[in-house]
Amino acid sequence: MMPRISTSLKKLVLLCLLLAYGASSQAWPLSNQAQISLITVSPGQELYSMYGHSAIRVQDPVMNLDYVFNYGTFNFNTPNFYVKFVRGKLMYQLAPGYFADLKARNIEENRSIYEQVLHLTPAQKQRVIDFLETNYEPQNREYLYDFLKDNCATRIRDVFKKTLGDSLQYPADIPGTPSTYRRMVGIYQAPHPWVDLGVDLAMGLPSDEKTGVWEAMFLPDYLLASFAKAQLQTPTGPTAFAGPVIKHFEASAVPAAQGFFTPMVAFWMLFVVVALVTLLQFRSKKASHTLDVVLFSLTGFLGVFLLFLWLGTDHQSFATNLNLLWAFPVHLVAGLLLLKKNPPRWLKPYFLVTGLVLVVLAIAWKFLPQEYHPSLLPLVLTLALRAFYIWRAQPAHR
């Protein structure tokens, strides 16, 4: 083990010296045999890795260098780490590392590793490494992460746009690409149905923006696909930007483990149970709001949380969330007021309006500018049913 550690330390010292040299002279010289590649890592089983990962590999056999640069790192020791993470104020940063370490770590996690060697001239390669070197300077290496618009994949997309300019041309479209950000991330969230519901709930109208090739590159798999079809304009005509995909490791298949109790099943079961309870309550003519207190106070609490994500954080994808039309924050207060022996007079018309809004929402489900998660329809119907029950059960005030 000792010789291996010693070699790693030597490489680390060499990398630090090269970066320090580059920062002072604005040049990390590459040999003519150097290669620059896009590294794509497939999604992992852990939630934090379910969208995959991208990095830039710089390999120079003459200088015995083989490093990766990725924009997906952050410092756990940041003061108020969790507060900044939740509020969208956590700074991510560019970080260099060893390709061998990246490869070993992802093989251990059973994640596929792909490489595309980029067909760059020596001058273009030098511009890329100069850009990375400048970007790694302390005043430049950090950036405010955004899930859809500024992440480890879009940063790499931008590196080559800024260094190659208009000579780099992407295809007009990539067949099979979903039409919106929401639908694109939904593909990766599908194996985790409850996580899919949670993320979908948090995402607002910006997530329903149309995605062309440029926007789709926020996901590593689509960055790979775009690079594969991109072309470089040269004096002799257009040429392929990236070489064939090299497979360093192919992950073994992992059986799906969704289970039966998905959100769709759970919410339809809830609707059926609530409908039966409501029917029995109408027949018995004995009003009870225990169920309503739970349903509407929890729904209102969810609305408060969604409103906080919109107004209290910098997560752009959480803004203008139309889930607030059914998860209305005032439901929290209205639900708790049902515990009172003599609830305020405004509750009766409040729940009538709530029921009507929910019915209109269910009818217009497919025509709204924000795409709702399919499993929410039975939940909305459940809330509408109980809203009308509360309206009927509340005494009229004269």
Backbone angles phi, psi at 341, to 5 degrees: -65, -40
Q: How many CB atoms lie within 10 A of CB 197?
A: 20
11: which residues sit within 8 A by CB, 6+ positions away?
Answer: 98
pLDDT for 258 equals 63
Do residue 319 and residue 224 come from a single domain?
no
Judge whether 258 lies within some domain. no
**Token code pair at residue 241:** 């930007």
Do residue 303 and residue 343 come from a single domain?
yes
Do residue 240 and residue 120 come from a single domain?
yes
In the chain (398 residues long), the average pLDDT of successive 10-residue segments reads 36 50 59 96 88 96 92 77 73 93 95 97 95 93 90 96 95 89 94 94 96 95 96 92 97 76 96 96 87 97 96 91 97 95 92 97 95 97 97 72
Do residue 277 and residue 234 come from a single domain?
no
pLDDT for 22 equals 47
Which domain covers residue 235, as residue numbers?
2-18+31-177+212-249
Do residue 367 and residue 234 come from a single domain?
no
**Token code pair at residue 52:** 């995959």
Task: State pLDDT tens for residues 124-147.
Answer: 999 999 999 999 999 999 998 888
Task: State pLDDT tens for residues 153-176.
Answer: 999 999 999 999 999 999 998 888
Do residue 268 and residue 240 come from a single domain?
no
pLDDT for 397 equals 55
d(CA 39, CA 27): 23
pLDDT for 43 equals 93
Do residue 104 and residue 220 come from a single domain?
yes
Judge whether 143 lies within some domain. yes
d(CA 171, CA 113): 24
d(CA 75, CA 271): 45
| CB contact at 8 A, 279 and 270 | no
The tokens 């926007």 sit on which residue? 215
Do residue 78 and residue 218 come from a single domain?
yes
Judge whether 254 lies within some domain. no
Do residue 282 and residue 377 come from a single domain?
yes
Last residue of a domain, one of 249, 271, 303: 249
Closest CA to 61 of 33, 103, 96: 33
Judge whether 298 lies within some domain. yes
Last residue of a domain, one of 227, 249, 271: 249
Task: State pLDDT tens for residues 321-377.
Answer: 999 999 999 999 999 999 998 889 999 999 999 999 999 999 999 999 999 999 999
pLDDT for 241 equals 97
Q: Residue 10 belongs to a domain with what CATH number?
A: 3.90.1720
pLDDT for 24 equals 43
Report in angstroms the alpha-carbon separations of 237 from 34, 136, 167, 228, 231: 23, 34, 11, 17, 10
d(CA 322, CA 326): 8
Do residue 226 and residue 339 come from a single domain?
no
When divided into structural domains, the chain yields a total of: 2
Do residue 240 and residue 372 come from a single domain?
no
Last residue of a domain, one of 191, 225, 249: 249
Do residue 132 and residue 244 come from a single domain?
yes
DSSP SS3 for 275:
helix
